[in-house]
Amino acid sequence: MAISKLFFGSKTGDIELEKSGQRLHIGVLGSVQQELKSTSNTSTELLLTVILLSMIELYRRREESSLDCHWMASLAILKARGPLRHMSGIGHILFTDLRLHWVIRSLRLRQSTFLAREEWKFIPWRGAHSRKDALQHLLDHVLEIPGLLELFDQYNSIVAAGNLDPSDIMSMRIHLSTWADALSSRLAQWKLDYVGTHLDDQPDAPEADTLLPAFRCWNTSKTELITPKALQYPDIILAASFCMYNAAHLLLATVQISSTTNDQAERYLYACNICRSVSYFFQYAPEPLIMRIVYPLRIAYDNFEEGSVEQQFVKDVAKLIGKQQRFKYFSSQLG
Q: pLDDT by residue (tens digit) across 54-84?
A: 776 666 555 556 677 778 888 988 998 999 9
Mark whether 64 and 116 lie in a shared domain: no
Mark whether 214 and 233 lie in a shared domain: yes
- Asked whether residue 92 is assigned to any structural domain, the reply reads no
Which DSSP state fits 115?
G
Mark whether 335 and 239 lie in a shared domain: yes
Mark whether 179 and 280 lie in a shared domain: no
The rounded distance, in Å, linking the Cα atoms of 315 and 102 is: 25
- Asked whether residue 201 is assigned to any structural domain, the reply reads yes
The crossing angle, in degrees rounded to 10, of helices 44-59 and 15-36 is: 140
- Asked whether residue 157 is assigned to any structural domain, the reply reads yes
The rounded distance, in Å, linking the Cα atoms of 191 and 174 is: 26
pLDDT average, residue stretch 309-318:
94
Q: What is the pLDDT of residue 315?
A: 93
- Asked whether residue 172 is assigned to any structural domain, the reply reads yes
- Asked whether residue 210 is assigned to any structural domain, the reply reads yes
Mark whether 310 and 183 lie in a shared domain: no
Domain range for 238 = 197-335
Largest Cα separation within the chain, whole Å, is: 64
- Asked whether residue 91 is assigned to any structural domain, the reply reads no
Mark whether 190 and 322 lie in a shared domain: no
Mark whether 335 and 201 lie in a shared domain: yes
Give 245-299 pLDDT, tens digit per residue: 999 999 999 987 655 556 889 999 999 999 999 999 988 887 667 778 989 999 9
Task: Show the beta-strand stretches assigned E in the chain.
Answer: 217-218, 225-226
Given a cut of 80, is residue 18 above it in pLDDT?
no
* pTM (2 d.p.): 0.86
The crossing angle, in degrees rounded to 10, of helices 236-253 and 166-194 is: 160
Give the chain's domain count: 3
- Asked whether residue 208 is assigned to any structural domain, the reply reads yes
Mark whether 229 and 149 lie in a shared domain: no
Which DSSP state fits 214?
P
End residue of a domain, out of 194, 211, 237: 194
Give 117-161 pLDDT, tens digit per residue: 999 999 999 976 778 999 999 999 999 999 999 999 999 999 888
End residue of a domain, out of 141, 166, 194: 194
Q: What is the pLDDT of residue 4?
A: 61
Close Cβ partners of 91 (under 8 Å, ≥ 6 residues apart): 44, 81, 85
CB 50 within 8 A of CB 37: no
- Asked whether residue 87 is assigned to any structural domain, the reply reads no
Three-state SS at 225: strand
Mark whether 212 and 321 lie in a shared domain: yes
End residue of a domain, out of 194, 223, 258: 194
